[in-house]
Each structure stands twice: as C-alpha cells, then as structure tokens.
Amino acid sequence: MNLLPQFLIDSILLGGLYTLMAIGFALAFGVTRIINFAHGEFIMLGAYAAFWLFTGWGLDPLVVMPAVIVLGFACGWLLFKAFIERVLAAPNINQILLTFAIGLVIQHIAVILWSGDSRSTTPEYALKALTIGDAFIPYGRLVGCGVAVLLVAMLIAWLKWTEDGRAVRAVAQNSDAATLMGINVKGIYALSFALSSALGVATGVVVSFIITVTPFMGFPMLVKAVAIVIVAGMGSIVGMVVGAFVLAFAETGFAYYVTEGSGWAEGVAFVLITAILIIRPYGLFGDAEA
C-alpha cells in the first residue's frame, strides 16, 4: 500500500491544528514579549470544558465553542490583570517563573478536581471517517482542521482590517512608538493576552475530540507551540503557518517512515528547536532585531 496520500492528508490536517495552537500562543508572546508557559493549560481547560458539556448535557463541542471562547477570553483577561500586568517591567526570569507557576497551579487544580484519568469527547462525527482510494480521512480531524483554519482566518482579518487589530500589530512591532502614537499599550497587552487565551481554549475544544483529554495534555502542546514560534521567528504570521506545517510534516513523517517512529515523533519538536537555534537563532522568518 502506498503511504504517501495518507501521509500527506494526515500532515495537512495536523498542520491546520498546529497553526491555530501556535498562533494563539504567539499572539500573547509577540505583543507582550512574555512567554506564557500557562498557554498549554488554557488548551487543557478548553478541552475539559468541551468534555464536561458533552458528557453532562450532551452538547456538541462545536456548538459550545463560542461560549467557551468568551469564557476563555474573560479568564485570560482576569489572569493578565491580576498577575501578568505586575511583571511587565520585571526581569525575564520573573516573567518566566510566574507563568510557569500559574500553569502548574492550573494543571494541579485540574488534577485535584477531575483526577488524572484520560477522557475523550465522542461526538458522532469523531468516530466516522471518509475513504478516498487508499486514504482514510477521519471526520473528527477534518472538522477540527476546518474550524482551526476558520478561526485563524478570522484572527488575521481582525488584525488586518480593524482599528484594534492595527493597534495590536503596532504594539507588537514597537511598543514605545505605539505609546507615542497614543495607543493604550497596556490595554492592547490585556486584549492580546485575553485573545490568546481565547484561542487557547478554542484549540482545546477542537482537540478534545481528536486526542485524549488529561490534566497533563497542555505541556506537550505548549512545547510544540514554542517550537513552531522558534522555527518561524517573531512577528510573521506566514512564518507561523509554515512552522506549523513543518512540524506537522516532520512528526507525521517520523511516525510513518521510521521504525518505532511514533515514539520518536514526540522528540521532533525538540530536535527542531535545537536545530533552528543553532542555524538561525531568530527563526526562518524572524528578523534579528525582534
């Protein structure tokens, strides 16, 4: 059997998801210059929200997504106002440790509330698949990828054509100059952070019917998002998309074509990070000043 069509389909579907994951993460990082090590935990919370609404009330993850996104936005905004805002001017080390600690706290609240058990959301479409020739397309991943592409397109449109979106881009490029232009930089920071959290929980809702939901699912996803941002470099959405697909193709390629590859695929993100940091420390698409 020819693996190539299946490999391409799987990689592309995964790449779409990774794009959403990475852009959500990069939005807060690019604007506030603070790596949010708790971003994975927002993905986890989104997945749990989808899971509980599905098992408790039988609501489809896609139906509840808008409500969960609004909730994620509110949580992100509160988190920023309560904690992140205090370390905006602090040394890097304080910022890193603070978000790391917040992620840890959220993760273990989840462990205490919901135990460490693996769960998964199973709407009907998640169990079916489409067959074209030899290739096999699971509906769940197709739907997930579709939603991801839609959300990313909406974000890009917002960034491009709205006043707030322009302000976000201005602050990301140069926050001092943006201040001089009369932009409320702190407000934009809060907005970006909240939007980033909203995209995080949206990612969680989408992956809830694709991978298993556990309190520890966030950290590996965070690392993948970091890898994509490092591959892409700062400040380039095109780069982010390319980075997401590079990671997706590399991981899927490993899983398909290397013996015991699915185990090694977990390490691809780390190899990629290391390789890019050696060859081009500012990413494929970043500029050295970022």
Partner 1 sequence: MRPELFLRWAGFVLAVAVLAVPFIGSPSLADLTFRTCTLAIIAISWNMMAGAGLISLGHSGFWGVGSYVAILCANHFGIPFLPSLLFGMLGGAMIGAGLALITGRLRGIYFAVATLAMSEGLRVMAVMLPDLTGGAQGAYLDSALFPGALAVNIAAGCGAVLAACFSWYVSRTRYHYAFRAMRANERASQMLGIHPMLYRVSIVIVSGAMASYAGAVSVWYGGYLDPGVAFNLHITLMAQIAPILGGIYTLAGPILGTLAAAGLGEVTRQWLGHVEGVSLLVFGMTLAICVLYLPKGIQGGIDRLFRSVVKAPLADDSTPTRTTR
Q: Point out which residues bind partner 1 (CB under 8 A).
A: 33, 35, 83, 86-87, 89-94, 96-98, 100-105, 107-109, 111-112, 115-116, 215, 219, 223, 226-227, 230, 260, 263-264, 266-267, 269-271, 273-274, 277-278, 281
Residue closer to partner 1 by CB (options 33, 169) is 33
Q: Does residue 240 contact residue 228 with C-beta atoms inside 8 Å?
A: yes
Task: Using alpha carbons, select from 45, 37, 22, 114 the residue that is nearest to residue 83.
Answer: 37
Minimum CB separation of residue 123 from partner 1 in Å reads 29
Minimum CB separation of residue 22 from partner 1 in Å reads 14
Q: Which residues, in sequence order, are CB contacts of 153 under 8 Å at separation 6+?
A: none
DSSP characters over 160-179:
HHSHHHHHHHHHHH-HHHHH
Residue closer to partner 1 by CB (options 34, 168) is 34
Residue closer to partner 1 by CB (options 124, 289) is 289
C-alpha distances (whole Å) from 61 to each of 28, 85, 234 are 25, 32, 32
List residues bridging with 136 in a β-sheet.
Answer: 131
Minimum CB separation of residue 191 from partner 1 in Å reads 21
Minimum CB separation of residue 9 from partner 1 in Å reads 26
Residue closer to partner 1 by CB (options 24, 123) is 24
Minimum CB separation of residue 103 from partner 1 in Å reads 8
- Amino acid letter, 189: Y
Q: Does residue 79 contact residue 72 with C-beta atoms inside 8 Å?
A: no
Residue closer to partner 1 by CB (options 1, 89) is 89
